[in-house]
Structure formats: C-alpha cells, structure tokens
Amino acid sequence: MVLKKTTRGWELLVEWKDGMMSWVPLKDLKNSNPVELAQYAVMNALEEEPVFKWWVPYTLKKRDAIVAKVKSKYWVTAHKFGIRIPKSADEAYKLDADSKTTFWTDATNKEMENVRVAFEVLSGVTPEEMCTGKVRPGYKFIPCHMIFDIKMDGKFTRKARLVAGGHVTDPPTAITYSSIVSCDSVRISLVTLIY
C-alpha cells in the first residue's frame, strides 16, 4: 500500500494574536508557515503520522541547510583589506585597546547616536521584564547586535550597524506587499480597454 501525500482532513486549532481561536486546515498552515508547523509536529510527536511524515523531515532539513549556509558565510569573513573585522561589540573594544586606537569605538558611538531617536525609553521597566514580555501591550523585546564592516573610501573607515533581530517581529505590511502592478494585470486591463 502506498500512502497518498496529502494533508486532507486535518485541521489545527490556532490561537490568534487577539486571543480568538479557530480551526484552520492543515494545508493552509503548511503553505503559510511550513517551518513552524514542522517544529510543532516534532514537539508534539506527530512527525510519524502519515500526513506529516512525507514533508516534515524535508522542511526541517532545508531549514537547517539555509541557516548553516548563512552562518558559515557570515563567520568566515575575519579580515577585510588586511584589517580584522570584529564579530561583537566586546571584540571591537578589545581590538581598539590592542591597537591603541578608537576606530571601532567611534563607529559604534556614531551608530548609537544615529539610532537613538528611534527608541523610546520605558521608565519603570527592567530588562528582565522586557525579556519575559511583562510590559504594556504594543511593546516587545527584540534582541539587537552590532554588525561591523570597513568602507573602502581611501581611509578604510570603520562602520558599525545596530541590527534588530527581525525573526521575532512581524514585518510591516508596507514591506511585505508590493504595490507594483504585474505585467499580466496591465495586459488584461489593456485588452478590456480595447474591446
């Protein structure tokens, strides 16, 4: 007997951000959030069910391959133009101390001054409360880290960027959805105009 590769008949109970709950067909969840659904199947020992068995291992293997490729590419670059590139703020400060310069410190301070306007200081909230989500609605803890680089501008200017962990936030709709018209839409509208 050959098992048919289908998700028909399965529904999962989903709790939405507003607290409402509804039953959603498995095929819809698989199309929109395949990695999260595969992780859910593994955590709840469902990966051996026929409906999950044919796609969960492949999805998780693909996820691991993508993550490994990105990690290896980032960590492999240690020098640029003969200058060591730090991988953390602590390493940047240590490189400055070892070389008796302030290049990386100046770049970090400049970046922090530039991004400070985008942050709101919450009074009466400890970092632990932020990490555990015990803050008022609309606020969320997002881990940040520094990315360092060197500009080829003749002076080899050090550059620092504060980067937020985008994996814990929902992308804004303005970025997610393109407002560009497809070629097919233009053709259809031209045809309807002509006839």
Query: Among 25-34, 130-139, 157-166, which stretch is predicted with the lowest mean pLDDT?
Result: 130-139
Same domain as 88, residue 136: yes
- The HSE-up count of residue 126 (CA atoms within 13 Å, CB side) is 3
Long-range contacts of 34-38 (CB under 8 A, 24+ apart): 34/59, 35/59, 35/60, 35/63, 37/12, 38/63
How many other CB atoms sit within 10 Å of the CB of residue 41? 22
Write out the residue range of the structural domain in which residue 22 sits: 11-69
Count of domains observed in the chain? 2
Query: Which SS3 state, helix, strand or coil, does residue 20 take?
Result: coil
The more confident residue out of 130 and 7 is: 130
Same domain as 136, residue 104: yes
The more confident residue out of 70 and 55 is: 55
Backbone angles phi, psi at 95, to 5 degrees: -65, -40
Same domain as 54, residue 81: no
Long-range contacts of 99-105 (CB under 8 A, 24+ apart): 103/158, 104/148, 104/158, 104/160
Same domain as 60, residue 120: no
Same domain as 92, residue 49: no
**Mean pLDDT computed over every residue of the chain:** 81
Identify whether 2 is part of a domain: no
Identify whether 3 is part of a domain: no
Same domain as 48, residue 82: no
Identify whether 147 is part of a domain: yes
Last residue of a domain, one of 69, 91, 106: 69
Report percent pLDDT > 70 for the chain. 83
Same domain as 154, residue 112: yes
Query: Which SS3 state, helix, strand or coil, does residue 175 take?
Result: helix
Same domain as 164, residue 103: yes
**For the chain, how are helix, strand and coil distributed in percent, rounded to 5?**
50, 15, 35
Last residue of a domain, one of 51, 69, 87: 69
* Tens digit of each residue's pLDDT (9 = 90 or more) over 104-161: 999 999 999 998 888 777 777 777 777 776 777 777 777 888 999 998 888 889 999 9
Same domain as 170, residue 100: yes
